[in-house]
Amino acid sequence: MGQFPKAVAYYYKRWHEFEMDLHHHPAIEIMYVMDGKCQIEIDDRIVHMRKGQYIYIQSNVKHRLIIDKDHPCRMLNIEFILHSNKTTPYMSIEQLFQTQPSIRSLFDQNERYFLLKDDEAVYFTLRHLVLELDHQSANNQLLIDNLMVQLLLWIDRNRREYHEQTGNQHIKKALTYIHEHYDTEIKVERLASITHLHPSYLHKIFRRSQGMTINQYITKVRLEKAKMLLVNTEIPVTEISNYVGVNTSQYFSNLFKKETGLAPSAYREHSREI
């Protein structure tokens, strides 16, 4: 069936003053700092790590962990290899490369390691993966494989975003907030606060990035959610506005008709006739 990532070691560990021997192994290793600080000596360099960061080390790369006595560190580590004796009906790593070509670069031996900052998605997936590995059986192998793919996808996304301009990190925070709070009143001042930017500068880089103003984007998100609810649920048309953060049903109806050319009720009827 081809090769697929297989975890061969995984553990939580709180380290106090400690210096690991320089070593290497055939497994790829992910070292995630849950709390505190540490240093990794790798390729004659010292890499400093802190909470929320993780390092991805290719196979057979010499490295060692160094913990300062004044800065204990708690870590979650996992080591995995590409294993060919797969017995579960899941995609191979080659099929994954075809589906998501950028993942191939995670296994490029020319880039011996990379350090990234997590937005909690990697830790969330890593934590669930390790928990399932602790209870590994035929009943949860497909879930383990799925979580392994998710982990690689999140790392790949983190890596691609890291190589993009810093401003995109601010835009990502703003977009995430909008998509999680579209059902409430969203003020630009709040977005400026969470991105630590001046409102006028946030307006400028947001428009450059998204091709529209912040308010236009918020309206777009709300109307797309409204379309989905109209087509796929039985929520009364008069209540849809409350689900998407628009103050009154009349204003929502006017806004919706301006965007689609149809009143919400007509849009629901039309979509169900198709």
Distance CA 86, CA 57 (A): 24
Domains in the chain, CATH or no CATH each: 4-162 (2.60.120.280), 167-273 (1.10.10.60)
Rg (CA), the chain: 24
Q: Which of 178, 266, 173 is nearest to 225 (CA)?
A: 178
Q: What is the pLDDT of residues 164-183, one digit of tens each?
A: 655 577 888 999 999 999 99
**Four-CA torsion 134, 138, 140, 144, nearest 10 degrees:** 70
pLDDT at 44: 84
pLDDT at 181: 96
Does this model's pTM top 0.85? My answer is no
pLDDT at 239: 95
Residues of the chain with confidence (pLDDT) below 50: none
Contact 96, 152 (CB under 8 A): yes
Distance CA 203, CA 199 (A): 6
How many CA atoms lie within 13 Å of 190's alpha carbon, on the beta-carbon side? Answer: 11
